[in-house]
């Protein structure tokens, strides 16, 4: 396979306009170009190394382009790493004497950053500067095996010569790689003209010929000009595109810009050699004030002394914007909204009657005469709209201890303020669009409304009544047992009505109608009520009981008091807490899994999640389940009837308090 290396030169030009002035121009690509380097090798003889644009990947062959007949092109680009001055990087591919690939990887080089003419970019890439520098770096091999070694070497190039020589010595082999390197640079002159439309043209010379092109430019101030996107043409019809926003900043008579080129090099299919620096040296200074004519204010050109002012007004207000300008007569005005000309708005003042939200935006004016055009700053018009309610709060009926919410939907200019009221009295802290109720008490029912205001006005919502629902299905309730350590009724909250161990609703857990009042509703996937390890003093003898209405099956496991059997497929009503992390080594948390196909009692600690009691039986509709531990051994009661006694635990057992949740 035959391998070739292509060097790339990118060159620039601009056309010119009337009343031209001439200035010098230079352009330098910040990337270097390394040609094929040859390195002696004890196994392969002389090995050629080809360099190409760094792609950041260690798992693929470096960027290249097949051009037919077994020929592969590499870009040769050594690109500066963004934000790290002097650090350059490239990928490489090495071949043996018959051009079969031997290895590939990447290099990083520490190159000199000296800048003798203080123009903001290194001498290394400037055509008029000589280079005789030592370098260091690292070579990283990606294939056929990974590895790294240090690099030392040198770069030599004479002033006004694009090509020089390089050497790179790899520390692991002590072999030296040598070849030629070059820079991409152009020099020449520009001609420019100032007026209502500022124009630039360039005629430049690079190593491949002459380049021409033209563009307009904008003078931001005496120290800055900006070029839009434009094309550059080589005498072989190559086209290069300089991206918009190329900004030249001035120091003395010198203007310097960082430029980005969309890749116009036909030999590569990926962006390379795209980062450039342009420099203009303008000796023209007609008024002798030290500012070159390229960015100086033209004598007689329009000058805006008073800019239009930003305003914030309420809808329906009449607004006027004004500008004061001086310059050679006649002066012409054109007002714009968001950069678009306003028909007929050609006076020094702009009057807008009864403004509405659609009138909000940025207003500016251009002032022109035959010499130049000057644009004002954009003044912002903000039109404030009073709040309008588009969604009223709705009446609520909630059971005692339950929860609910009222909300209002409003449109209007921010910032909107809210104040909820009950029976005409403001509620402290109720200043959001939604008012929530939790653990409803007898003092909360009443008539609620909310007042909304902004800088343009205010509005009050309709009244929504919060009423109290009586408890449901209480006639069959029996007195609560004594000795309770935790009780979570699920009536609209995760609170423990013993008052000690309130839980937290997790992952969208909510409520449904229960056997009495409300109940927790779990999806069997992620829903959970998290309480924590809250029973350090309750061990070995206790009861866990609950009403349950399962709608899916749980995975039945074998009874065991060792090992792990419950890691998947369970529907926990009470999640078995990890005993070791909650209470210490030798402790377990007990929990209960319930499906419509039966009940399983689980214990959980380090390397242990086993079902000590398994009862496979249909569980249909609301069913009362009680698990009674006596001396570490669980017994299962269903609707008050003892159904099974399980295995004795080998650990110290605690009841768990987390409800629902999968493993």
Task: Give the pLDDT score at 125.
Answer: 93
Candidates 337, 341, 336; CA nearest to 361 is 337
For residue 67 the two structure tokens come to: 């051009």
CB atoms within 10 A of CB 255: 24
| Per-residue DSSP letter, 238 | -
Candidates 222, 205, 221, 203; CA nearest to 213 is 203
- Output the DSSP codes for 333-389: EEEEETTEEPTT--SSEEEE-S--GGG-EEEEEEEE-SS-EEEPPPEEEEEE---EE
**8 A C-beta contact, residue 382 and residue 314:** no
Task: Give the pLDDT score at 263.
Answer: 65
Report the chain's C-alpha Rg in angstroms: 40
Candidates 569, 640, 641; CA nearest to 611 is 569
Task: Give the pLDDT score at 14.
Answer: 29
CA distances from 418 to 391, 404, 433, 457, 559 (A): 14, 19, 6, 13, 59
Task: Give the pLDDT score at 602.
Answer: 97
For residue 187 the two structure tokens come to: 């020099």
Give the β-pairing of 587-595 and 652-655.
Answer: parallel
Task: Give the pLDDT score at 281.
Answer: 96
Per-residue burial over 550-560, b if 16 or more Cβ lie within 10 Å, else e, is beeebbbbebe
Cα gap 515→522, rounded to integer Å:
15
Task: Give the pLDDT score at 473.
Answer: 53
Candidates 249, 259, 193; CA nearest to 222 is 249
**8 A C-beta contact, residue 521 and residue 510:** yes
For residue 373 the two structure tokens come to: 């055009």
Cα gap 215→213, rounded to integer Å:
7
**8 A C-beta contact, residue 344 and residue 324:** no
Candidates 96, 227, 125, 260; CA nearest to 183 is 125
Cα gap 244→518, rounded to integer Å:
65
Candidates 281, 401, 293; CA nearest to 23 is 281
CA distances from 160 to 26, 203, 403, 550 (A): 12, 18, 82, 86
CB atoms within 10 A of CB 99: 14
Contacts of 483 (CB under 8 A, 6+ apart): none
Instruction: Please say whether the dihedral angle defined by the alpha carbons of residues 610, 613, 618 and 621, taken in this order, is positive or negative.
Output: negative
Largest Cα span, the chain: 109
Three-state SS string across 477-543, please?
CCCCCCCCCCCCCCCCCCCCCCCCCCCEEECCCEEEECCCCEEEECCCCCCEEECCCCCCCCCCCEE
Low-confidence ranges of the chain (pLDDT < 50): 1-18
Residue 526: strand pairing partners: none
């Amino acid at each position: 396979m035959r391998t070739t290396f292509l060097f790339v030169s990118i060159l620039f030009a601009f056309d010119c306009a009337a009343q031209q002035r001439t200035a010098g121009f230079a352009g330098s690509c910040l990337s270097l170009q390394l040609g094929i380097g040859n390195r002696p090798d004890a196994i392969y003889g002389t090995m050629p190394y080809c360099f190409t644009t760094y792609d950041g990947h260690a798992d693929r062959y470096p960027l290249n382009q097949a051009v037919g007949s077994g020929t592969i092109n590499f870009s040769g680009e050594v690109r500066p790493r963004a934000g790290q001055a002097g650090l350059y990087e490239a990928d490489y591919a090495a071949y043996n004497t018959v051009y079969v690939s031997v290895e590939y990887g990447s290099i990083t080089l520490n190159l000199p950053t000296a800048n003798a003419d203080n123009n903001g970019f290194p001498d290394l890439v400037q055509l008029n500067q000589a280079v005789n520098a030592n370098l260091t770096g690292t070579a990283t091999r990606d294939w056929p095996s990974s590895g790294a070694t240090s690099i030392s070497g040198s770069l030599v190039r004479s002033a006004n010569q694009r090509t020089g020589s390089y050497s790179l010595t790899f520390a692991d082999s002590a072999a030296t790689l040598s070849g030629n390197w070059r820079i991409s640079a152009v020099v020449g002159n520009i001609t420019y003209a100032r007026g209502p439309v500022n124009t630039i043209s360039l005629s430049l010379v690079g190593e491949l010929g002459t380049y021409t092109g033209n563009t307009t430019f904008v003078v931001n101030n005496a120290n800055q000009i900006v070029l839009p996107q434009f094309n550059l043409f080589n005498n072989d019809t190559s086209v290069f595109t300089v991206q918009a926003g190329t900004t030249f900043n001035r120091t003395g008579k010198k203007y310097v810009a960082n430029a980005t080129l969309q890749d116009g090099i036909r030999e590569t299919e990926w962006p390379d050699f795209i980062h450039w620096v342009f420099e203009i040296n303008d000796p023209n200074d007609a008024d002798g004030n030290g500012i070159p004519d390229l960015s100086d204010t033209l004598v007689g050109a329009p000058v805006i002394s008073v800019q239009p002012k930003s305003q914030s007004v309420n809808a329906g207000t009449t607004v006027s914007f004004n500008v004061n300008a001086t310059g050679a007569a006649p002066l012409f005005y054109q007002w714009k909204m968001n950069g678009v000309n306003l028909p007929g708005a050609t006076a020094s003042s702009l009057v807008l009657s009864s403004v509405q939200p659609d009138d909000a935006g940025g207003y500016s004016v251009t002032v022109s005469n035959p010499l130049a055009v000057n644009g004002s700053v954009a003044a912002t018009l903000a039109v404030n709209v009073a709040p309008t309610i588009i969604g009223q709060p709705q009446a609520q009926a909630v059971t005692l201890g339950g929860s609910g919410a009222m909300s209002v939907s409003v449109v209007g200019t921010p910032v909107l303020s809210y104040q909820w009221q009950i029976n005409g009295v403001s509620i402290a802290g109720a200043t959001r669009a939604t008012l929530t109720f939790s653990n409803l008490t007898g003092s909360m029912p009443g008539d609620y409304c909310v007042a909304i205001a902004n800088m343009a006005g205010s509005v009050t919502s309709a009244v929504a009544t919060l009423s109290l629902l009586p408890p449901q299905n209480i006639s069959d309730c029996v007195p609560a047992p004594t000795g309770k350590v935790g009780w979570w009724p699920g009536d609209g909250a995760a609170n423990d009505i013993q008052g000690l161990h309130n839980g937290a609703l997790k992952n969208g857990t909510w409520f449904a109608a229960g056997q009495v009042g409300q109940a927790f509703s779990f999806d069997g996937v992620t829903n959970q009520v998290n309480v924590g390890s809250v029973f350090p003093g309750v061990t070995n003898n206790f009861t866990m009981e609950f009403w349950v209405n399962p709608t899916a099956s749980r995975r039945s496991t074998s009874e065991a008091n060792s090992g792990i059997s419950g890691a998947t497929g369970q529907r926990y009503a009470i999640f078995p807490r990890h005993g070791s992390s909650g209470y210490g080594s030798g402790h377990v948390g007990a929990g209960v899994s319930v499906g419509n196909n039966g009940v399983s009692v689980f214990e959980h600690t380090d390397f242990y999640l086993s079902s000590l009691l398994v009862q496979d039986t249909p569980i249909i509709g609301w069913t009362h389940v009680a698990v009674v531990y006596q001396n570490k051994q669980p017994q299962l009661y269903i609707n008050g009837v003892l159904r099974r006694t399980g295995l004795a635990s080998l650990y110290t057992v605690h009841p768990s308090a987390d409800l629902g949740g999968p493993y």
